[in-house]
Amino acid sequence: MTALQAPRPERRPSREQAPSVRPRLQSVPQPQRRMATVPFVMVVALVMAVGMVGLLVLTTALQDQTFTVQAKQRQAEQLADQLSALQAELADARSVQNLAVAAQKLGMRPDPYGTQLVLPQGTVVGKGVAVSGVEVPSVRYLSPEQADAQIKALAKAEAERKAKLAAKKKAAAEAKKKAEAEAKKKAEAKQKADAVATQGERP
């Protein structure tokens, strides 16, 4: 066996022995200036005030739009009611009775011997006969004035019936009240008589 000497570690020169090397010069960043407290508070207050004003303006605009929408909805409902009334008038005008009254005013009469017209050929089936208006005596049409008078008479009769019924109910209620008052008086008189009799029996 041979013993070899271990290599010695190289010694680094100390700071005093190391050659003098100048460090690189670097620019130092300027420190950021902080905003002063009073201007910062003023800026925050200004931002909050602008936000509040904007919110108020937005709320006012939304309320105006809401009122406008409600007004349009009411107008649409009124127009829908008018349309329904006009449709009811149109249906009433197209009814058989009104058409018959209008035809009677024009001098037309019901014809039980009517003929048929075949289209598009234009051929007539049957034979037309002139009528005098008495062929169907059971048919009787009312004019608008007669119909209004009949409706008013029915309404008056209904009002009179309701008034009589209300009078009967009122009279019955008064009679019941009177009977209850008389029964109460009798009960009080009986209680007084019983009390007097009880006091008379005591020694």
Closest CA to 185 of 193, 174, 195: 193
> Peptide bond preceding 203: is omega within 30 degrees of 0, i.e. cis?
no
Residue 48 has pLDDT above 90, yes or no: yes
The kind and range of the H/E element at 117 are strand 116-118
Residue 52 has pLDDT above 90, yes or no: yes
DSSP 8-state assignment for residue 175? H
Q: Tell me the pLDDT band of 75, cut-offs 50, 70 and 90.
A: very high
Taken in order 152, 153, 158, 163, the sign of the CA dihedral is positive
Look at phi and psi of residue 99 and say left if phi exceeds 0, alpha if psi is from -120 to 50, else beta. alpha
pTM of the model: 0.34
